[in-house]
Chains A and B, each alone.
Chain A
Amino acid sequence: MVPSAVIALSRVTAPARLAAAAQRRAGRSAEVELYFAFDDPCSAVAVIDLAARVAGRPVDLLMKPVLRRGIPGDPAVELKRSYAVLDAGRLARRIGLQLARTEPLAAESTAFLAEWVAESGPRSRELRAFCVRAMHHLWFEAGEPSPEVLRAMWLEELGSTPASGGHQIRMNEARMARRGPYATPAAWLAGRWYFAQDRPDSIMRYLDELGWTERQ
């Protein structure tokens, strides 16, 4: 596809606006799919920031944790992981938070969290609250990714025992690839996707444009 066509199509919003209006008439909410990783500090900023920003709007923030992401064979992957910590610290400062870690977390150390969240289904308010608390714990309080501590947190928020298993994570990863994002955190909304740590204002503007504004 030629660049001018890509750009022109990216600016078309009429079908999405019509679809959003139909959803509202049917009493439904907007859905923002948030693809993120617990070992990713920029995801921590995005989960906390977006959850706060969509509160009060008729928006379901669907929590879609993944493990595998990135560009296959990327020679800069380790550099990017280190830089992400520095970058997330600056992004956190923008929203009044201070990152408590200076080094990346190992992906395998938080994989169990991704399993719990993915297996529980993405939709509930309680799940979103758990993700926000877990991200605060891991990245802003320098809490260890301890299954015992986080299981207690899960019980407090969801009142049940978390389920394990990798099936839903793979589903999330496949869906993320179909939607287009190749890295986390990414937010998909009505045919568009954004790097969620970079473009929270743009996501809110698009929600406004589609009519998903604050509840009066």
Chain B
Amino acid sequence: MSEQPAEAIDFFYSFRSPYSYLAAPRAFMLPMRYRISLRFRGVVPMVMRGQSVPREKGLHTLRDTAREAQRLGMPFGPMHDPVGEGAMRCLAVAVHARERGSERDFVLGAGAAIWGRAVDVAADRGLRAVCEGAGLEWDACRAAISDPAVLEEVERDTTALGELGQWGVPVFNFRGQLFWGQDRIEDLEVELAGAGLRRPKGSARFAGDAGER
């Protein structure tokens, strides 16, 4: 019988955030390296929550993400900004994928499509390919996109981030300790190791499932 981790980490993520994209592969690896489960919580993009992003901040994010992607060996560009409908559709599908236990495959696939291949996820053609690539049925994904209960779930996750006193993503919440930024995963790992949650070597939770996409 597989062990069910007692502890969970909330992973707040936005499909419009390139830093979330950079964080996701390492975030989804955490349950393989530590005795924790990862709760994916998709949030509405910052600009759609009424927070301003000045031009210089946007430019710096692009430049910095490009350098970080290169360092991490991840593709970055060409890209298609999913702000608006694209982000909301992905968030709805992510809720559906979470119910199916497929959120890892969907989130990693959508991130790679948006930030590395300029796939327009606001269009059915683009999103359908991502969904099916994650093993999801398109009809069920389409139903989730227009399901008010799913959108309420997205709102709950977005509100939860604000209630933690956080504004940006990615954010990790472990035992009430918040870690903001793809470059703070190493600090989170220090906490996880300090809490005695590191898995013994050779005991990855999902054998054969530890590779990067």
Contacts of B76 in A (CB 8 A): 7
| Inter-subunit contact B51/A6 (CB<8 Å) | no
Which residues on the A side are within 8 Å of B187 (C-beta)?
90, 93-94
17 A-B pairs within 8 Å (CB atoms) are namely A3-B77, A7-B76, A10-B62, A10-B63, A71-B54, A75-B51, A79-B165, A79-B166, A83-B166, A87-B180, A90-B187, A90-B190, A94-B186, A180-B60, A182-B56, A194-B64, A202-B71
Nearest neighbor of A199 in chain B, beta-carbon distance = B64
In the complex, chain A residues 1-30 whose Cβ is within 8 Å of any chain B Cβ: 1, 3-4, 6-7, 10-11
Minimum distance in angstroms from A6 CB to a CB of chain B: 5
Q: How far is the CA of A90 from the CA of B174 in the complex (A)?
A: 15
Report whether A198 and B167 are in contact in the complex, using a CB–CB cutoff of 8 Å: no
User: B59 to A6, Cβ gap below 8 A?
Assistant: yes
Interface size class of A (residues with CB under 8 A): 20 to 34
Residue B184 is within 8 A (CB to CB) of chain A in the complex: yes
Q: Does A80 contact B (CB under 8 A)?
A: yes
Residues on the B chain within 8 Å of A71, using CB: 52, 54, 57
Q: Does A83 contact B180, Cβ atoms closer than 8 Å?
A: yes
Q: Which of B59, B66, B78, B184 contacts A90 (CB 8 A)?
A: B184
User: Is A76 part of the binding interface, using a Cβ–Cβ cutoff of 8 Å?
Assistant: yes
Give the top 4 A-B pairs by smallest Cβ distance, nearest first: A76-B167, A10-B63, A90-B187, A7-B66
Chain B residues at the A interface, C-beta cutoff of 8 Å: 51-52, 54, 56-57, 59-60, 62-64, 66-67, 70-71, 76-79, 81, 165-167, 178, 180-181, 183-184, 186-187, 190
Instruction: Output the least CB separation between A145 and chain B (Å).
Output: 26
Q: Say if the beta carbon of A56 comes within 8 Å of chain B.
A: no
With A6-B63, A71-B54, A83-B166 given, can you name 15 additional A-B contacts, CB distance below 8 Å? A3-B62, A4-B77, A10-B67, A74-B52, A83-B165, A83-B180, A86-B178, A87-B184, A90-B184, A93-B190, A94-B187, A180-B60, A181-B60, A182-B56, A198-B181
Task: Return A12 CB to nearest CB of chain B, in Å.
Answer: 11
- Does A6 lie within 8 Å of B67, measured CB to CB? no
For residue A205, give the distance in angstroms from its CB to the closest CB of chain B: 9
B180 touching A10 by the CB < 8 A rule? no
The residue on A at minimum CB distance from B187 is A90
Q: Is the CB of A193 within 8 A of B60?
A: yes
Q: Is the CB of B183 within 8 A of A198?
A: yes
Least distance between B23 CB and chain A CB atoms (Å): 14
Cβ-defined contact, B63 with A7, below 8 A: yes
For residue A199, which residues in chain B have a CB less than 8 angstroms away from its CB? 64
Residues on A with C-beta less than 8 A from B63 are 6-7, 10, 192
A11 and B180 within 8 A (CB): no
A73 interface residue, CB < 8 Å from B? yes
Asked if B62 contacts A6 (CB within 8 A), the reply is: yes
The closest CB in chain A to the CB of B65 belongs to: A7
B51 touches A4 (CB 8 A): no
Q: Across the interface, which residues of B come within 8 angstroms of A73, CB to CB?
A: 52
| Given A7-B77, A87-B184, A182-B54; A79-B167 close (CB under 8 Å) | yes
Residue contact B181 to A180, C-beta cutoff 8 Å: no
Against B, the Cβ 8 Å flags (1 = close, 0 = not) of A165-209 are: 000000000000000111000000000111100110010000000
Q: What per-residue 1/0 map shows which CB atoms of A141-168 lie under 8 Å from chain B?
A: 0000000000000000000000000000
A83 to B113, CA, bound (A): 32
